[in-house]
Amino acid sequence: MLDEIKKIKLGGFEQKIHIRSNNNGPILLVLHGGPGIPNRSSLFTKHLDLCDHFTLVGWDQRGTGGSYKGIDPKTLTLEQYLIDTCELVDYLCHKFNQEKLFLLCGSWGTELGTMFCHKYPDKIFGYIGFGQTVSGEKNEAVSYQYALDEATKASDKKSIRLLEKYGPPIKGQYKEGIKGLMVQRKIMKKYGGNSTKKEGWFKTLVLPILLSREYTLSDKIGVIKGYSLVLSKMWGQITDYDFITDCNEFTMPYYIFQGRHDNNTPSSLIQEFYDKLNAPSKDLVWFENSAHNPLGEESVKFKSLLIEKFVK
């Protein structure tokens, strides 16, 4: 069994990864969301069974978690993240003497992963995305309207006032930037657009990180400080895309595992993108009891299908 947590230099900056495998299986690199929300803790506690089938790799992307200390904010660019991803893929393939690897991507990770597959097709065996992004502008318009509609149905006057104050978003951008985005996300989450359990940020995100044994104290500080830094630097760069028209041709299998009730990266946008998608093998799998994170909400079904697509 291999179980290794280490820092490696990517794009000239040391970043933390965790590699674990029980059988030297094919490499499964997980690209987390946010940007700025690492997921090593959930990967290596709730989803360790994946190590029976894959060489599982978790990565704290530049500027967050174990990859926060010493970060130069000027390097937080979309192009740099693509370079970091490319260097990590090359490192892993060389380390394990494998030609390519598989990508499992969530939320912001689907934007990074989709762009990576389009730019470096020869490095990837297959792609699975959940909380799939489609279009930055459309994503925010639909997500905002969902929050406003739900608040209106509930006669939630305070939420309505806040949403009207900071939006609607223009080309994916809210008034007062990240402050407006956070207001919208909090209300959207309150009404089940992020999780069918309608749980708050503290219980679903903050508390698991604080209690995690996966992260060192320095890593936890990096998560807390890195989130606002990365999001504030990156958000203006990552809403100017439309995969429906600009990024729909792939040479590897491309699969979407989408929660039916997702209004963070809205499920209503998925079908149009999927219909335009051209790949040697493609599939759109709906998770009827999930929102933004079917890997967490319907884990057994999700992982069974992941193994079926990538291993069998």
pLDDT in tens, 168-209: 999 999 999 999 999 999 999 999 999 988 666 666 666 777
Average pLDDT over residues 266-290: 98
> Is 160 a domain residue?
no
Structure confidence at residue 210 (pLDDT)? 77
Between the CA of residue 28 and those of 67, 151, 219, what are the distances in Å?
20, 40, 22
Helices and strands: H and E segment counts in the chain: 13, 8
Residue 151 and residue 188 in contact, taking contact as beta carbons nearer than 8 Å: no
> Is 122 a domain residue?
yes
> Is 185 a domain residue?
no
Structure confidence at residue 220 (pLDDT)? 95
Instruction: Compute the Cα dihedral for 168, 174, 179, 185 and give only its sign.
Output: positive
Total domain count for the chain?
1
pLDDT in tens, 88-102: 999 999 999 999 999
CATH number at residue 41: 3.40.50.1820
Among the listed residues 86, 80, 87, 88, the one whose alpha carbon sits nearest the alpha carbon of residue 59: 88
Give residue 97's domain range. Answer: 2-135+213-310
Between the CA of residue 219 and those of 6, 80, 87, 231, what are the distances in Å?
12, 21, 22, 17
> Is 143 a domain residue?
no
Average pLDDT over residues 126-153: 98
Mean pLDDT, the chain, whole residue set: 95
Distance CA 120, CA 122 (A): 6
Structure tokens, 216: 């060192």
Which residues make beta-bridge pairs with 285? 257
> Is 289 a domain residue?
yes
Among the listed residues 307, 261, 260, 249, the one whose alpha carbon sits nearest the alpha carbon of residue 284: 260
> Is 258 a domain residue?
yes
Average pLDDT over residues 22-27: 94
> Is 79 a domain residue?
yes
Structure confidence at residue 196 (pLDDT)? 85
> Is 140 a domain residue?
no
Does the predicted TM-score (pTM) go above 0.75?
Answer: yes
